[in-house]
Structure 1
Amino acid sequence: MIAWLLLVSLFCSSAQDGYLKDPGVFPCGPQNITVSTSDQVILLTWEDDPSCMSLRDALTYELEALIADEPTHYEEVAVRSDEMGSRHSWSWSPHLALECAPITLKLRSRSQGRTSPWQLERIVPGNDHSFLPEVYPRDKVFQVGSKATFCCVLPTGQVWKTLNVSGDSSTNWVIRKIGNHTYSLTVDLIKGSVESGANVICETDQEHNGACAYIGYPPADHDLTCETRDFQSVECLWTVGRNTHLALKSPTTYQLLGSTCAEESDGRCSHKVRVDIGERNWTLTARNQLGTVNLTDRADLMRRVHMFAPQEVKVSSVNASSVRLDWNWAIQMYDDLSIRCQLKISDSQTSAVRDCVGVALRFTVLDNLIPNWRYNVTMRCGTAQHFWKWSEWSSSVEFLTMGDVPDALDVWMQGNDSQTIIAWKVPLANQSHGDIIDYEVTWKPTSERRKKSRVLHPKRSLALSLDATREHVVSVTARNKYGNSSPSTITIPVLNTGSGRVKSSKTQGSNGGFNLSWSASPIASCGYIVDWCPSRGLCTIDWLRVPPSETNVGIFSENFREGVRYLLSIYGCTPGAPVLLERREGYVKEKIIQDGLFRTLNWKQRDMDVEVSWDPVALQEQSAFIQGYILYYWENNSSVMNISTDNPRDTSLTARNLQINSYTFTVKANTTVGQCGATSITVTLNSLTDNLIKAVGITIATIFVLLCLIVILCYRNWECIKLKVYPPIPMPVLKDKWMTSLAKQSCRPVFVEMSHHTEAELMAIPELHCKSEAPPGLDCAEQGNGCFNEPVENLTTRRAAAPCQLPLLPPPPPPLSSSLPKDGRLNPAYNLTSTDSLVEGSNGYQPQKQKGQLEEAPDTPLPCVLTYILLPQLPSE
């Protein structure tokens, strides 16, 4: 026994001596080391040496990785005392693919400064003897913001040229040679690649090849919300985060309450579960190769009921202004809920939403609808108590309401010369409530019997000739097959009342219309009416009604045209006739007036001045406001001069102090959009002498033409002129009494021989010279038959004292030739040389010479002359 103890002590002492002799050797080290690789991950496992069981201090394993014999990674693994004797493991993902270069793993233990010897494990890439350059890693997923290293392994005999990454997802490229046939590329990944990945291309002097890299993000889903629709399942919704760019390589997968959701979940997942009253957690997990996200929502789903849309929506009854709407529910438990529904009622023009609430709600009535109008209705519902959200919209239902009488018309008036035009707006489809047949217009002066007229649709106006001095009341109604509308009444004021005192002011359009504002008027108790119409040409008036509280309005019409002047009138609406308040004139948009605006340019030379004139420009030819005119003039190849006027009413301009030469004159209108409407003429100025000669020649020619006209007129109307100036003398008719009185006088007719004269010359009537037997001193005017009965010797004195006036002659006799014999003598028994007394004969009378009568010489003036008296033959009894 003692000997055995001695042997043991000697063994221990020898062991201690050996340990002290080699203090760096630590017997407790790794054993049974194994190395495996999977998906670019190295897994190293080992066991503790049995000697490690006696250690009371902590044990640490040191691990070092070398790539291509260059230290790359160092890590330590601590083993607690209770883990002694178990198998240990370590995993590592090198930044370089395992196929790129050999990797050496070194493992040893350490405790209290003592270390075991390094144990080496080597991983050598295989050689596939490819004839193409190979790029590694292939189809690997990288996270944006990390570094990535790629390598290119060249075939034997090929020379490397380039190694790069396509696209713009990487930056900071660093290329290294890590072996005789291997090159590496390290880059910073700053952006996600396309879904198909980024290409890493390696090119040699002979071939090129590459691999695909997927660059993206881990899941970033958030805002999980859970609800129920049928009380038998839970449905969760969440917001899908940013695009991971890994839909092809590593799509995100979801699990709700541990159950996998459908692959194309798109932010929605449901799970069968019984829904009870009370709160609980609802958990969703989102995962891809780069990371995992857990989302949780805590809720009582009985307060989160998302209803299904109503089904089988239909119209059960239709009236002119109301309908009944019925529907059903897909879930029977909805009958126990208090439900609130929204109905969207739309037509071709508008859309409106109405609400209805009720328990087990299955129908509703829609009222205040437009007659004869087509509607489209759809609806959605939700819980009235603990409202969560609306259901989807139901399928739509369409219906047409019954027809009715038209709405009242919008009526207005327009004064047009001697007529008043009554106009109304044609009812829209939602106002006519059926096809309009015609319109009835009635009018009457105040307190008189009315008159009426019918106007067929679609005419929208009627011209009336009304008494301008009286007010009239006009009513218009529309008729369809359902009846007549309510009458629309307007009072027509006394013609032009107030219009003469309202002046027009200019206004400028904007944005295709007019923005008008005016001062409020106390008389406008029912608002304002603004009407507009082109200032010239055919006018189809249009108007707009404005409430009393507003004094500005924007007027827009599809009939507005640029370059047309419009007249806008603002009326105050009163209980009686409307009152004109203001008038404006303006353009929606002014346009440049085309050249040739002045159709006729006239010019007149005064001395060395030239006046150029034109006709006033018609309004329909003014596409902009004319602010004045400019006259440009110049000689041939000389500088241009101009004069202007700022008065748009002027129709002439004068260029002064010109030279005798040819000038070109151009007139332009000055407008707010520039000078436009240019019209030109060319004139040649004459000298003052030429003008004088020309004036004299024109005067002489004018006088000659006038004289010729006078001669021609006198020649053509000579007979009429002769009758007016030199009328024929009528032949006196002698009666017995006249002859008796004549016989008492000593008369001596003087005849001229007519035998040798023509019939026309016989018109020279002989004069009858006679002496009166009246007492001396009797005035000539007191003697009968118009003869002077005074002595011859007193004739000269009497003539000097008072001329003798002959009495009026009787009407002219028939032509003398009718009473003369064929031989041309007045009377064959009448002898000019006879001195016998006047005796009666069958053919007339003969003169008788009185005793004591002096013979008068032919040149002696006769005391009394009766001119143009021819004594006709007395008819035989």
Structure 2
Amino acid sequence: MWKNSSLRCLLALTILCLRSLIYSQEIGSVGHTQNLKCVTHNLRKMICTWDVSSKGRHGQTDFCYTTNGLHPPVCFKTKEKRVEIPVPERATTVTITTNSISGTAFATKEFEIHKKDISFVPLTPRILSLTPDFSTSTLNLKWSDNGSVFPYGLDAFWQIQILRKEAMEKVTQVTYYSKLTHEDIILSWNWTSDMPLECTSHYVKIRCYINVTQFVGPKDWSDWSPVEEVPGIDTEPNGSGVFPQDTVVAVGSDVTICCVHEEGQQIQRMTYGPEIYPMIHLSSRSSAIRVLNASASDTSGTNVVCILSEDEMDGTVLFVGYAPDIPQNLSCETSNFLIIKCTWKPGRPSGLYGKRRTKYSLFERISGKNVSCEVNEINRDCVCGFPVLADQKTYDFILGVSNPIGQTESSLLVDLTQRVNPKTPEKLTVSGNSSTSVRLRWFINGSFAEIRLLCQIEISSGHSERKLDNVSMPGGKFSTYTAQLNALHPYTKYQFRVRCSAADHFWRWSGWSKIEEHTTLEAPPARGPDIWRERSPSGKSLKIFWKPLSLSEANGKIVSHEVSCHLLETPLEYKEVTEPSNSTEIKLGKNDCVISVVAKNHAGSSPPSRITSVELPSDNVKTDRAVAMGNGIYISWNSYPNMTCGYIVKWCHSSGSEPCSVDWQKFPSNTTDAVIKSALFRPGVRYNFSLYGCKSSGYQLLKNITGYTKELPPKRAPNFTVEETSSDSILVKWEDIPIEDCQGFLEGYRLSFAKGEKDALKPRLSESGNPELKVKNITDLTKKSLKILDLQGKTSYQLDLQAYTAGGLSPPNSLYVVTKEDSVGLIIAILIPVAVVVLLGVVASIFCYRKREWIKETFYPEIPNPENSKALQFQKNICE
């Protein structure tokens, strides 16, 4: 019994020990701490989390941490498996004790945390706002960088993701960079969609990465923020339309255009201009087309049509143009110190008009004043006015240019006193009561009191070159300005006009004023006329010639010439010759005198021109040839030391029934050659010149000269005749050519001849290319005949005779001549054949006589008797 009881007690004790051992083992494994992780979001605090091996219930957890044992441990209790503690500067020892529900510690584990074990993950960003701009298809995203919790100067990277459609298809992902400033900064970012925002819903989310270079632990991106949505029109119950509405895009852009329709409708097709485009499905109520590399549209734009059914459609207009060019050659100036006019070249046309046109504004930075500029895009007249401001000389302009596609600007700094272009002078008047001076008056509309003006007066007349006279004067306010012009020429019709500019800082001339005309008064002629005289062949009268004075010398209208003749201060004769005569004749008898000629106009008389009538005798006066120069005639002569007052060359035509018009030219004593020119000279006309030497006692003829300005071929050939013909020669004679037909100095004759019949259609000998053509060149001008030898009898010959000068050959004169028959030759021609025949007959007779036996035997042999033939005898024997 006891034994059984003892056995039972022992068995119970054994079971109790085993259960206690099993329980103690369970207690040792339950509540075991594992997977300790620490993450910091701000580099100051870190959140540590862990797992417990048991899934059963347990009580609070004791969490203690120390730093290298230098400080007592910091402990606290937590019901969560998560604590927030400061980020340690060094390694940290962490002790985690898991307690039972009753508070009994049943598991303790110690961890050592190093800096490299701590992860840095920024907090999840929070989007503050997502604002759409439907007119530009732009999303504006704003969020806080939470920079106040981080040290200054850290680099932050923000990954922004754009999604589209109900399925949230990823459109793009961009990285935005910022610098943390230890303050909470609101960051903003814009994104322009390639598709109108109305077409379908758009979504945005964001996450952050902060590059802390001194942090040695793992660094990672934050979690994505919650998604922000911009709903499309296709999500609205009654939303419909074609988008974008009447928008402007740049040439070359890729444009997406969508059509949103109501429930129950269906898009048939979409067209851009005349073309149908394939559609892109966006949602059950939205489809789009994609126009690539859009070209410039017309002024009224390009139509986009969405056809829903045969009788229902919707649409929009797309305007495709260019962004404005940077204005070129911006220039500003003032014409009156009231308005500053700025001009520029706009560059390429934008192709946008109306309310979408390019707009210009002129902003002055010093004063802060801004004006709007009206510029016609079609005429491209780019001018803008800016008011002149009081007490301001320097202007700093910015020309702003903008249109819906883009904007640009150009700047210019100007000192207004150096950019003055006065208005065109007005009300120009000319007055004067003098032969050499006038006074000009003009008005300039503008206020130029602060500067000096430089005005340029243009003076022109019919007989002189244009002259410019500069006059400087103080400027005034809306003033009249005057100028005195002197040293003008009498009795001259002048044209005056004026323009002005700034005197100290020249910029540009104003426009020319209107031309004003004025004629100065007459004055006495400046000098006497150029005169010459010629004594008549009888010697009893003297003809005096004078040349008209030029306009610049006459100083007025010449009304007459006074001609007088004096002998030892005694007047012999006086004449007044009215215009337009330029010569007169005086009866002198055998006397000589000094002739005086005075030109007169309404203002007075010229100084007298004098010449003596004395002509000194000349011996052995020669005639030389002049040299043709094309534009004149070159003559030369030897120097004559005793000719103290120069030389006179007088000339006129060498032929003509009427008296020639006398002309002359005077040269100083040191001259020995000259080219004589005259508007009356003609090529091919011979002119005769006489060279006179001037002495104090009179004039002496030195030599005669003849010549041409240019030699031409003679007008015609000399007339010629055949004086004598024979069977082998022709004698021709010709006449002289008149001088007026020579048109040059005759150098010789050219006689061409060849066999030829008279035929009007045949070419001239010089053009025929006849190989038998022969030419005789006669250079002896005294010779007037030529005998042509070695010709054939009774043969027709063509003869061409031409004269020639240095200018060429004259046209030919032609004759046709037949030479006489040669009788002796005919007789010889008959006798020779007869003699040959007789001689041949005699030779044949002699030959035949001597060879008569041979001839007889050859041509007439003897015939034998047949009876004596041996052949016949043989035949006879056979028969027998």
Structure 1 residues 161, 620: CA separation in 2 closer, same or farther (over 3 Å shift)?
Answer: farther
* Residue of structure 1 equivalent to 2:109: none
Measured in 2, the distance between the counterparts of 1:568 and 1:196 equals 81
Amino acid corresponding to residue 260 of structure 1 in structure 2: V
Give 1:783-862 correspondences, 5 Å limit.
none
* Residue of structure 2 equivalent to 1:48: 143
| Conserved 8 A contact 2:361-2:401 | yes
| Conserved 8 A contact 2:717-2:810 | no
Measured in 1, the distance between the counterparts of 2:753 and 2:198 equals 93
- Secondary structure (helix, strand or coil) at the match of 1:500 reads coil
* Residue of structure 1 equivalent to 2:632: 514
1:475 aligns with 2:589: no
Structure 1 residues 369, 662: CA separation in 2 closer, same or farther (over 3 Å shift)?
Answer: same
Render the CA deviation track for 1:143-162: whole Å, top value 9, x for unaligned: xxxx6668999996899999
* Residue of structure 2 equivalent to 1:659: 792
Measured in 1, the distance between the counterparts of 2:330 and 2:385 equals 14
* Residue of structure 1 equivalent to 2:157: 59
1:401 aligns with 2:520: yes
Structure 1 residues 59, 129: CA separation in 2 closer, same or farther (over 3 Å shift)?
Answer: closer
Give 1:83-94 correspondences, 5 Å limit.
86=186, 88-92=188-192
1:677 aligns with 2:677: no
* Residue of structure 2 equivalent to 1:299: 415
Which residue of 603, 615, 618 corresponds with 2:735?
A: 615
Render the CA deviation track for 1:792-840: whole Å, top value 9, x for unaligned: xxxxxxxxxxxxxxxxxxxxxxxxxxxxxxxxxxxxxxxxxxxxxxxxx
| Conserved 8 A contact 1:234-1:270 | yes
1:78 aligns with 2:189: no
Structure 1 residues 300, 364: CA separation in 2 closer, same or farther (over 3 Å shift)?
Answer: closer
Give 1:722-761 correspondences, 5 Å limit.
none
Render the CA deviation track for 1:839-868: whole Å, top value 9, x for unaligned: xxxxxxxxxxxxxxxxxxxxxxxxxxxxxx
1:586 aligns with 2:705: no
Structure 1 residues 375, 604: CA separation in 2 closer, same or farther (over 3 Å shift)?
Answer: same
Render the CA deviation track for 1:384-415: whole Å, top value 9, x for unaligned: 66777655544544333333444435424376
Question: CA shift at 1:45, angstroms?
Answer: 1.7
* Residue of structure 1 equivalent to 2:328: 221
Question: CA shift at 1:488, angstroms?
Answer: 2.4
- Secondary structure (helix, strand or coil) at the match of 2:740 reads helix
- Secondary structure (helix, strand or coil) at the match of 1:318 reads coil
Structure 1 residues 44, 577: CA separation in 2 closer, same or farther (over 3 Å shift)?
Answer: farther
Render the CA deviation track for 1:241-291: whole Å, top value 9, x for unaligned: 474334864557251524326536756744221246xx7443242524465
Question: CA shift at 1:43, angstroms?
Answer: 1.3
1:274 aligns with 2:360: no
Structure 1 residues 357, 31: CA separation in 2 closer, same or farther (over 3 Å shift)?
Answer: closer
Measured in 2, the distance between the counterparts of 1:653 and 1:135 equals 109
* Residue of structure 2 equivalent to 1:263: 374
Measured in 2, the distance between the counterparts of 1:341 and 1:216 equals 44
Which residue of 415, 423, 438 corresponds with 2:545?
A: 423
Question: CA shift at 1:682, angstroms?
Answer: 1.9
Unpaired stretches in structure 2, ≥5 consecutive residues = 1-58, 63-75, 85-116, 211-219, 260-266, 282-287, 305-315, 376-380, 758-769, 825-880
| Conserved 8 A contact 2:592-2:613 | yes
Measured in 2, the distance between the counterparts of 1:651 and 1:103 equals 121
Measured in 2, the distance between the counterparts of 1:543 and 1:135 equals 94
* Residue of structure 2 equivalent to 1:635: 755
Measured in 2, the distance between the counterparts of 1:670 and 1:6 equals 144
| Conserved 8 A contact 1:320-1:369 | yes
Structure (1/2) with the larger strand percentage: 2
Amino acid corresponding to residue 680 of structure 1 in structure 2: S
Structure 1 residues 507, 561: CA separation in 2 closer, same or farther (over 3 Å shift)?
Answer: closer
Measured in 2, the distance between the counterparts of 1:337 and 1:331 equals 12
CA RMSD in angstroms comes to: 6.1
Question: CA shift at 1:503, angstroms?
Answer: 1.6
Measured in 1, the distance between the counterparts of 2:531 and 2:799 equals 49
Amino acid corresponding to residue 353 of structure 1 in structure 2: L
Question: CA shift at 1:441, angstroms?
Answer: 3.1
| Conserved 8 A contact 1:491-1:578 | no
- Secondary structure (helix, strand or coil) at the match of 1:114 reads coil
* Residue of structure 2 equivalent to 1:36: 133
Structure 1 residues 234, 247: CA separation in 2 closer, same or farther (over 3 Å shift)?
Answer: farther
Measured in 2, the distance between the counterparts of 1:251 and 1:496 equals 95
* Residue of structure 2 equivalent to 1:413: 532
1:379 aligns with 2:498: yes
Count of aligned pairs: 637
Question: CA shift at 1:677, angstroms?
Answer: 1.9
Question: CA shift at 1:648, angstroms?
Answer: 6.2
| Conserved 8 A contact 1:226-1:282 | no
* Greater shift in the superposed pair: 659-668 or 47-56: 47-56
Amino acid corresponding to residue 457 of structure 1 in structure 2: E
Question: CA shift at 1:662, angstroms?
Answer: 1.8
| Conserved 8 A contact 1:409-1:425 | no
| Conserved 8 A contact 1:423-1:461 | yes
| Conserved 8 A contact 1:48-1:84 | no
Amino acid corresponding to residue 207 of structure 2 in structure 1: S
Question: CA shift at 1:500, angstroms?
Answer: 2.8
Which residue of 579, 593, 614 corresponds with 1:457?
A: 579
* Residue of structure 1 equivalent to 2:81: 10
Render the CA deviation track for 1:700-735: whole Å, top value 9, x for unaligned: xxxxxxxxxxxxxxxxxxxxxxxxxxxxxxxxxxxx
Measured in 1, the distance between the counterparts of 2:634 and 2:173 equals 85
Amino acid corresponding to residue 320 of structure 1 in structure 2: S
Amino acid corresponding to residue 387 of structure 2 in structure 1: H
Which residue of 618, 624, 633 corresponds with 1:503?
A: 624
- Secondary structure (helix, strand or coil) at the match of 2:548 reads coil
* Residue of structure 1 equivalent to 2:838: none
* Residue of structure 2 equivalent to 1:244: 348
Matched-pair identity in %: 18
* Residue of structure 1 equivalent to 2:778: 645
Give 1:763-782 correspondences, 5 Å limit.
none
| TM-score normalised to structure 1 length | 0.56
Measured in 2, the distance between the counterparts of 1:80 and 1:490 equals 109
Measured in 2, the distance between the counterparts of 1:382 and 1:520 equals 59
Structure 1 residues 6, 554: CA separation in 2 closer, same or farther (over 3 Å shift)?
Answer: farther
Measured in 2, the distance between the counterparts of 1:519 and 1:99 equals 105
- Secondary structure (helix, strand or coil) at the match of 1:621 reads helix
Give 1:99-118 correspondences, 5 Å limit.
108-111=206-209, 113-114=220-221
- Secondary structure (helix, strand or coil) at the match of 1:540 reads coil
Give 1:440-451 correspondences, 5 Å limit.
440-443=562-565, 450-451=572-573
| Conserved 8 A contact 1:226-1:299 | no
Measured in 2, the distance between the counterparts of 1:177 and 1:497 equals 114
- Secondary structure (helix, strand or coil) at the match of 2:348 reads coil
- Secondary structure (helix, strand or coil) at the match of 1:503 reads strand
Structure 1 residues 247, 629: CA separation in 2 closer, same or farther (over 3 Å shift)?
Answer: farther
Which residue of 320, 323, 332 corresponds with 2:438?
A: 323
- Secondary structure (helix, strand or coil) at the match of 1:620 reads helix
Question: CA shift at 1:633, angstroms?
Answer: 1.6
Render the CA deviation track for 1:484-530: whole Å, top value 9, x for unaligned: 43322344663785993462222231xxx338697996979888777
